[in-house]
Each structure stands twice: as structure tokens, then as C-alpha cells.
A and B are shown apart, each in its own frame.
Chain A
Amino acid sequence: MGSIPFLPPSASSVSGEVDAFYFFMVAVTAFFSLLVFGLVVFMAVKYRRKSDQDRPKAILGSVPLEIIWTAIPFLIGMVMFGWSAKIFFTIVTPPEDAIEMYATGKQWMWKIQHRNGKREINELHIPVGQAIKLKMTSEDVIHSFFVPAFRTKMDVLPGRYTTTWFRPTKVGKYHLFCTEYCGTKHSGMIGWVYVMQPEDYQKWLQGDSGEGTLAQRGEKLFNELGCANCHRTDGKGRGPSLVGVAGEMVELERGGKVLADEEYLRESILNPQAKLVAGYQGIMPVFQGLVSEDQLLQLIEYLKSIGKTQKAPAAKPATPASRTAAAAAIAQGKGL
């Protein structure tokens, strides 16, 4: 208990502007609420019924007034619409320099994987000042990744990847909440985000990650699961070589092309027949239910590490609505 707080900590590059917009909204709300409250109270008293015989004159209406109080709410609404849409696109468009991390939601915990192989549960350590892009998926139901101090939130869905990003601006420890109701211990699916000085973060990252980077673990899995037997790097296997595939357009057996982004790679592991590469037969076994979401991310990370090395200029995040936007930074190879 103690004094009542009114604002959550403000600790990301967008939180200041979200707060500014919020103050604007509060001001508009306060103005109109007080105006209406004031008018109602004033007229309730001033024009109160003095006698049961009162028969006030009718005032039927006024076209100018109707136009005024149609136009004003509409125009104010459009200011809110424009400003908030601008903020929204900032919040959902990761900057070029963002480094990637992975989050998996699961009843009822958050699992985080850093690219160097470091893993953590219900905690996320990140360096201050650095844009972080989280690629997220769920192993079961829908969750939602919410850090109030960053003013950002994104639903985490089973069966696909969603992305959120933030650039922390203040060192500290902040709440991480799940905000999509996910069952019994929904309110226990919480954790902490630790924003650290870059040097401290590097130190933390180097400590205790014995099993190798994510890509190395993916490579190990790639061999263990027998992928390498067919997907030979010399291109002579029963499956296509996967060198240089991630982030590239691939031709499909049924015609057309598709961008080999995370979404496509994931689908092709779990359900290989869905979008078969041109010139190959659908002989690969279905891996649905055999690999966990965490392992999938490792495999994809490995494929990205042997994927396209040059960033395609066409795949800029200029098409934010499509999931392909995420592919933009895939081949950047921003190792840590």
C-alpha cells in the first residue's frame, strides 16, 4: 500500500509519445465531461421545476447547433485517429538496427531464447538503448506479451509468428504480463524485464551458455533429426539444399513463388507438403508434434545462418502488414 501511482514507469523510445497522446486524450475527456456535467448541473438547478403547473415553451432544435456538434466531435476524432495511427505504426515497425530474440508463450510461462543460445524463463535481459525485436509464438493457446513500461503489447498465437519490438531507454526492472486470458494460472504468467547497461548485458550474456548459439543448436538438431541426409548442401539430395534459401524467393511445385521467411520455413518443417519446392517430391515426413516451438526456432535460426547473406533491398519493412516484413532483417546476420 502507499500513495496512488498514476503512470507506469516510462522506459522505451515510444513511451513518451504514448503518454503525450494519453494526456491529450485525458484533457479532451476532462473538458467535455466537465462541460456536459457542468451544463447538466447548471440547468438542473437554474431551470428546476418550480410548480407542477410549469409548461415551458418548446424549443424544437437548431440546424446550426446540430452541425456544430456533429462537426466538432468528428474533427476532434480525426485528430485522435491520425495522431494515434502514426504512433501505432511507430510501435509496430521495428527499426533496421533491431537485434532479434525469440519468445515462446506456454501455459503459464514465457520462454526466451537469445541468439547466442542463452535461454531464460519469465525473465528478459536486454541492453539499454538497443532496439530489440522479439519473434513470438505460442505452444498452446493465445497469450499476449505486454510490458507496460514500454507501452507495447502484441498477441502471441499458436501456429504462427508475431513480432513486437522496443528500444529501452532506462536501466531498471519492469513488469512483463500476459494480457490474453490463457487459463487457470493466467495471472501467474508474469515476469520481469531487466534493462541493463550494455557492458553488464554482455557480461550476463557470456555467462553460462554452454550449449552453443541458437544456430549451433539448430545445426545439431538438423543432423539429429536426419534433415541433413536429404537436404544435402551439394544439392544432390532428395530434398533441396537449404543453403542460401532463408530470406530468398523459392519456386513452388504447384507454380508461383513464396518468400522463405520464418513462417514458410516453420510450415515446411511441420507440414512439408503444404508448399512443395519445384522439382521435388513430397516425401518428407510431417514433423508436426515432433519438434517443440523452441526447437523450431533453433532450426530456423540455423537455416537463417546458412541463408542469404545479402539483404534484399525489396524486402524492406515497407509492407508492415505482411508477415514478410519480418524477413527484411533475416539475412542481416546480426550475431552477438
Chain B
Amino acid sequence: MSTVSSTIPEAKPNYLTSDFSIKSWLLTTDHKRIGILYLISISLMFLLGGILAGLIRLELLTPNGDVFQPENYNKIFTMHGVVMIFFFLIPSIPATLGNFLIPLMIGARDLAFPRINLLSWYIYLVGGILTLSAMALGGVDTGWTFYTPYSSTYSNTYVMLTALGVFVSGFSSILTGLNFIVTIHRMRAPGLTWFRLPLFVWAHYATSLIMILATPVVAVTILLVALERGLRIGFFDPALGGDPVLFQHLFWFYSHPAVYIMILPGMGVQSELIAAMSRKKIFGYEVVAISSVAIAVIGFLVWGHHMFVASQSWYAGLVFSFLSFLVAVPSAIKVFNWTATLFRGSNAFLTPMLYAYGFIGLFTVGGLTGLFLSSMGLDVHMHDTYFVVAHFHYVMVGGAIMAFLGGLHFWWPKMTGRMYYEPLARLSAVLVFIGFNLTFFPQFILGYLGMPRRYHAYPEEFQVLNVLSTAGATVLAIGYLFPATYLIYSLFKGEKAPANPWNAKGLEWEQAPSPPPTFNFDHTPEVHEPAYAYAPEKEKEVVHA
């Protein structure tokens, strides 16, 4: 197809064909196979979380709460949140694409600790099984936030089993983060300096820092809830001498940075898509790289913006509000740099680029509406309303999942050696964008009108907007079902992919066949150029505005 790909000799056995036994998959230490194992696991979790979301939208079609009993509705939205956040979004991009691509991108044969990498998948699996068994036994109704004293004293559902699953799966994040940090520090190919790294790697480095620093805090918090629930030791319940707001501090100290665990890898994917699909180096590469780290660092200091009306000190609130505006700046910088990269580019209307365009738009709306909630005086009104629901779905679904789907399409040929059917993929990208906006935009209005979140029944005047939202959800569901179908179909019938179908830069495209062999490269590659060197060196120009 292109001059680059034809220079690579067709490798004999690749990582998929080297061994077909089940054992070879379950005991693999190959980062690519582990990435695939994760991909299958998180896809099943996404399907489950998506079905639960569908049930929520079904209930909210009418104001009266007439589909499910209230306790069941509460379990449904709780499980939707728990499954989507802890078992889909947090591992989604890092554990699948990150796992698969980081060694390939930096010219390494594998991650630094291949066995620990496999262990992290098993830990994830154990955590998932524990949480799913809680669901099978009867579910949990605390909301994914597990606020005390409801979770520690009042709820009669399977709180501990669910929390145990979340606790266990946290260790899989910690191990993945640790593995990435060591790998990125120690195993870069000769010549691959920090400022030659693909931005995907930078984003994962920043994500890994959060994973290893923040996740232990949620583990400790869950342990404290367990001690209070099991042994009646008072940490959070005032009836036992505890402080309920303490739980919120500990919980958000993890869970706000966790938002960045979910979105930063998506930003990394976004940079790769934009560069390859416009055939240009990312505008302001260094700034985009450093902004990932800035987000990770400042992201640790904004947790109190979840608690402006939780009886937290008002002056603490001021500081948290200020820092929340500050953390928005590096995100804005990224959006402007991605947009500027398109200038005078060769922008392809291919599926990965459609997702990237969608990401810029939806993440911009998601980010800007975050500023509404950082604004103390406005957050008083909007806190815990549907505005918050709409905002974080714009960031999580409009941002993280759009990036995940874009990345999955972009690297699908590399991962599977097959091309997907492009026209259908483009159509579904458009469906996802339309369905998404129709689902979540009305929720901004609902929020300002005052509809509280986690309501099983609601006053009648909110119905029209809820009907729109449910209608959008059906479009979104179809948009998601398409890729599930044609991607699986492509595994069997798809056109064979060349090593570099997009003519993209990067070691994974230029130095490894599709799919790559077990140890990625025959010889350790050497790097002599910066990332995204699409244009010949002498043609580079620097614009001084």
C-alpha cells in the first residue's frame, strides 16, 4: 500500500498465531495478549454497564417511577456507576491500548514486569467477580460514591462485597501504573528522549502517577467503612462518634484524581489520532506533554469542589474553587493545540478522525460546564442535580469513550491485522455523536431546572426533557452496537491490514508488522527523529503569531 509498509518483511508467526492454546492465553506474559484479555473483559463490563444505563433511561421515560421498585432503581444506578467507573473507565484505555502500545511505542520487547502485568489482570478479574457476585446476590444501593453513614450503617444491601471488589481491583490499577512508570523510565529505545515520546506515552505516564498515588487512599477509605460496618468502630457515623464529612474528603481525594485517570489516557489517544490523521506534528508538542503532568499534579488539590455545600469550611471551599479554575487551564491549552494542529493539515475524514473531532467538541463542552460547578455561588444551586450528571457524562462518555473508540479503530489493524469496514464505521461514529448529544444535552437544562440526580420518580414538568434523553440513549446504543458487530466481523472477514495502513509515524507503525510478533521487534529500534516527524526536517517552520 505504501513505501513504508512494503519495506517491512512479512513476519512469520505473530503474537496471535504463535500459540493457539487456551493455556497460552491464560498464562501469557505478553503485554499485547494481556491487552487483549483486558479488552475482552472491559467490553463485557461496558455492555453490562450500558444495559444498566438503558434500564435507568427506561424508568425515567415517565415521571411516576412505574417500571422498577425504588430499591431496584437505586441498585441499578449504583451498579451502573460502579461497573462503568471501576471496571470499565479506569482500566479502559490504559489497560488495553496502553498495555498493548506503550512497549511498541518506546521500542521495548515488553513491559518492565510482564508477570506483574498478568497478575494485574487476574486481580482485576477477582475484583470484577466479587462485585458482580454482589450484584447477583441482590445488589447494592449506596450509589457509586458509598457516602456514609448510609453505606456504613443504614443500607441493607451487599455493600461490603461490592466495596471489596472495588478494593481488590484498585490493586490492579496500582500494579499497572507501577509497570508503566518503570517501563517508560527504563526501557525507551536508544535515542528516544523524553521530548521525543509520543504524547500517548506522556499521558499514560501522568495517569500512572495518579494511579499509584491516589488509589491507596480509596483502599484505606473502603477499609475504614468495612471496620465501621463490620465492627462498629466509629469513623464516619456520628452515632458512633465519627464524622460523615471525613468520608467525603477521603473518597474525593481519590475519586477526583480518578476522573483524570479516566480522561488523561483519552487525551493521549486524541493527540495520536490528530497527528496521524492530519499528518502533522502536534502543535506545541512540549506544552501538550507538560500539561498532562500539570493536570495530574493540580488534580490532586481540587477534591473539595465536590463539597461546597457539604458543610466544609467556606474558606476551604474558596481555595478548592480557585484551584479548580486553575486545573481547567491545561485542559484548555490541549484543546487549543489540537485545534491548531489541524491548521494547514491533511485532515482525513476517516473514522478515527471523526472520533477525534467529536472528542474536541464534546470535551470542550464537558470542560466548560465543569467551570459552572467550580463556581461556588452557582454550584450551590447545581450540586447533585442533573447538570452534574450531564457534565461528567460529557467528559467521561463524550471524552473518554469517544477517545477509546477512536483509538480502538485507529490501532485495530495493528492489534488484529485486519481492517474494519470503513463506511459503516463512519456512520456509527456520526450516530454516537448525535445520540450522545441528544441523551445528555437535555440533562444540562434539567439540572438548572432543579431535577436532582438519583431520583426514581420526578415531577411532571421534567418529562419532555427526559423523553428526549431516553430517545437519544437508544440512538447512542445503536451507535455502540455497530462497532461491536463490524469489529468482530472484521476479525474473520476483514481485509488483511498492512503494517502501516494510515502511513502514520511511530515505532508501532513503522518498525513492527501488523499484528506484531511476540517480542515486537527483531532488533531494538533506534530513534533519530522527534515524534510525529511527518514533514521532512528542512521544511519545518515556526510560526510567530
Given A47-B343, A88-B314, A80:B154 Cβ within 8 A? no
Q: Is B426 located at the chain interface by the 8 A CB criterion?
A: no
Q: Are A40 and B342 in contact (CB under 8 A)?
A: yes
Q: Are A18 and B357 in contact (CB under 8 A)?
A: no
Given A40-B357, A40-B360, A59-B543, A54:B377 Cβ within 8 A? no
Cβ-neighbour of A80 out of B238, B286, B374 (below 8 A): B374
Q: Is A146 located at the chain interface by the 8 A CB criterion?
A: yes
Q: Is B309 located at the chain interface by the 8 A CB criterion?
A: yes
Q: Are A84 and B280 in contact (CB under 8 A)?
A: no
Contacts of B329 in A (CB 8 A): 70, 73-74, 77
Q: Are A49 and B143 in contact (CB under 8 A)?
A: no
Q: Is B361 located at the chain interface by the 8 A CB criterion?
A: yes
Contacts of A180 in B (CB 8 A): 147, 384
- Minimum CB–CB distance from B290 to chain A (whole Å) comes to 11
- Minimum CB–CB distance from A64 to chain B (whole Å) comes to 5
Q: Are A56 and B279 in contact (CB under 8 A)?
A: yes
Q: Are A56 and B344 in contact (CB under 8 A)?
A: yes
User: Which bracket fits the contact residues of B?
Assistant: 35 or more
Contacts of A83 in B (CB 8 A): 375, 377
What sequence of 0s and 1s flags, for each residue 234-252 of chain B, a beta carbon within 8 Å of any chain A beta carbon?
0001110001110000000
Given A59-B542, A88-B380, A182-B150, A54:B279 Cβ within 8 A? yes
Q: Are B452 and A178 in contact (CB under 8 A)?
A: yes
- Minimum CB–CB distance from A77 to chain B (whole Å) comes to 4
- Minimum CB–CB distance from B461 to chain A (whole Å) comes to 6
Quick one: closest A residue to B308, CB to CB? A88
Contacts of B357 in A (CB 8 A): 40-41, 44
Q: Are A59 and B283 in contact (CB under 8 A)?
A: yes
Given A73-B332, A320-B314, A91:B377 Cβ within 8 A? yes
Q: Is B278 located at the chain interface by the 8 A CB criterion?
A: yes
What sequence of 0s and 1s flags, for each residue 257-293 of chain B, a beta carbon within 8 Å of any chain A beta carbon?
0000000000000000000001111011111000000
Q: Are B325 and A66 in contact (CB under 8 A)?
A: no
Q: Are B463 and A185 in contact (CB under 8 A)?
A: no
- Minimum CB–CB distance from B288 to chain A (whole Å) comes to 9
Q: Is A144 located at the chain interface by the 8 A CB criterion?
A: yes
User: Which bracket fits the contact residues of A?
Assistant: 35 or more
Per the 8 Å Cβ criterion, residues 127-161 of A in contact with B are: 140-142, 144, 146, 148-149, 151-155, 157-160
- Minimum CB–CB distance from B441 to chain A (whole Å) comes to 11
Q: Is A235 located at the chain interface by the 8 A CB criterion?
A: no
What sequence of 0s and 1s flags, for each residue 437-464 of chain B, a beta carbon within 8 Å of any chain A beta carbon?
0000000010011101111111111011
Q: Are A141 and B339 in contact (CB under 8 A)?
A: no
Contacts of B368 in A (CB 8 A): 28-29, 32-33
Q: Is A225 located at the chain interface by the 8 A CB criterion?
A: no
Q: Is B141 located at the chain interface by the 8 A CB criterion?
A: yes
- Minimum CB–CB distance from A105 to chain B (whole Å) comes to 12
Given A32-B364, A160-B238, A184-B141, A152:B385 Cβ within 8 A? no
Q: Is B485 located at the chain interface by the 8 A CB criterion?
A: no
Given A8-B448, A64-B545, A188-B70, A158:B149 Cβ within 8 A? yes
**A28 to B65 CA separation, bound complex (whole angstroms):** 37
Cβ-neighbour of B345 out of A43, A78, A154 (below 8 A): A43
Main secondary structure of the interface of A (DSSP, over half): mixed
Q: Is A183 located at the chain interface by the 8 A CB criterion?
A: yes
Contacts of B539 in A (CB 8 A): 57-58
Contacts of B474 in A (CB 8 A): none
**A182 to B454 CA separation, bound complex (whole angstroms):** 10
Q: Are A181 and B347 in contact (CB under 8 A)?
A: no
- Minimum CB–CB distance from A162 to chain B (whole Å) comes to 5
**A144 to B238 CA separation, bound complex (whole angstroms):** 17
Quick one: closest A residue to B311, CB to CB? A162
Contacts of B464 in A (CB 8 A): 1-4
What sequence of 0s and 1s flags, for each residue 60-98 of chain A, a beta carbon within 8 Å of any chain B beta carbon?
111111101110011001101101111111111000000
Q: Are A87 and B376 in contact (CB under 8 A)?
A: yes
Q: Is A204 located at the chain interface by the 8 A CB criterion?
A: no
Given A2-B464, A84-B378, A77:B326 Cβ within 8 A? yes
- Minimum CB–CB distance from B142 to chain A (whole Å) comes to 8
Q: Are B456 and A187 in contact (CB under 8 A)?
A: yes
Contacts of A1 in B (CB 8 A): 460, 463-464, 467
Quick one: closest A residue to B317, CB to CB? A88
What sequence of 0s and 1s flags, for each residue 180-196 of chain A, a beta carbon within 8 Å of any chain B beta carbon?
11111111101000000
Contacts of A21 in B (CB 8 A): 375, 377-378
Q: Is B297 located at the chain interface by the 8 A CB criterion?
A: no
Q: Is B381 located at the chain interface by the 8 A CB criterion?
A: yes
Quick one: closest B residue to A164, CB to CB? B309
Contacts of A183 in B (CB 8 A): 74, 141, 150, 154-155
Given A18-B381, A148-B450, A177-B452, A65:B340 Cβ within 8 A? yes
Q: Is B322 located at the chain interface by the 8 A CB criterion?
A: yes
**A40 to B357 CA separation, bound complex (whole angstroms):** 7
Q: Is B231 located at the chain interface by the 8 A CB criterion?
A: no
Q: Is A254 located at the chain interface by the 8 A CB criterion?
A: no
Quick one: closest B residue to A14, CB to CB? B377
**A22 to B543 CA separation, bound complex (whole angstroms):** 38
**A111 to B158 CA separation, bound complex (whole angstroms):** 30
- Minimum CB–CB distance from A66 to chain B (whole Å) comes to 5
- Minimum CB–CB distance from B46 to chain A (whole Å) comes to 24
Given A64-B545, A148-B450, A36:B150 Cβ within 8 A? no
Q: Is B11 located at the chain interface by the 8 A CB criterion?
A: no
**A221 to B334 CA separation, bound complex (whole angstroms):** 64
Per the 8 Å Cβ criterion, residues 498-545 of B in contact with A are: 503, 533-536, 539-545
Cβ-neighbour of B361 out of A36, A64, A66, A85 (below 8 A): A36
Contacts of B454 in A (CB 8 A): 181, 186-187
Cβ-neighbour of A62 out of B150, B344, B459, B543 (below 8 A): B543
**A42 to B375 CA separation, bound complex (whole angstroms):** 32
Q: Are A29 and B339 in contact (CB under 8 A)?
A: no
Q: Is A179 located at the chain interface by the 8 A CB criterion?
A: yes
Contacts of A18 in B (CB 8 A): 377-378, 380-381
Quick one: closest A residue to B238, CB to CB? A159
Q: Are B449 and A58 in contact (CB under 8 A)?
A: no
Q: Are B534 and A92 in contact (CB under 8 A)?
A: no
Q: Are A69 and B371 in contact (CB under 8 A)?
A: no
Contacts of B155 in A (CB 8 A): 183
What sequence of 0s and 1s flags, for each residue 46-59 of chain B, a beta carbon within 8 Å of any chain A beta carbon?
00000000000000
Q: Is A280 located at the chain interface by the 8 A CB criterion?
A: no
**Could you list 25 A-B pairs, sorted by A, with CB under 8 Å?**
A18-B380, A36-B339, A36-B360, A43-B339, A47-B343, A59-B340, A60-B541, A61-B284, A64-B544, A65-B336, A65-B340, A70-B332, A77-B329, A84-B321, A84-B375, A91-B377, A141-B150, A146-B450, A153-B381, A154-B309, A158-B149, A158-B244, A159-B244, A175-B459, A179-B385
Could you list which residues of chain A lie within 8 angstroms of chain B, going by C-beta atoms? 1-8, 17-18, 21-22, 25, 28-29, 32-33, 36-37, 39-41, 43-44, 47-50, 52, 54-66, 68-70, 73-74, 77-78, 80-81, 83-92, 107, 140-142, 144, 146, 148-149, 151-155, 157-160, 162, 175, 177-188, 190, 288, 320-321
Other 6 A-B pairs with CB < 8 A, given A32-B364, A49-B279, A182-B150: A40-B342, A62-B283, A70-B329, A92-B380, A152-B381, A155-B310
10 cross-chain pairs, A with B, having the tightest CB-CB distances, nearest first: A159-B238, A148-B450, A87-B377, A84-B375, A77-B325, A54-B346, A88-B376, A61-B284, A187-B455, A58-B535
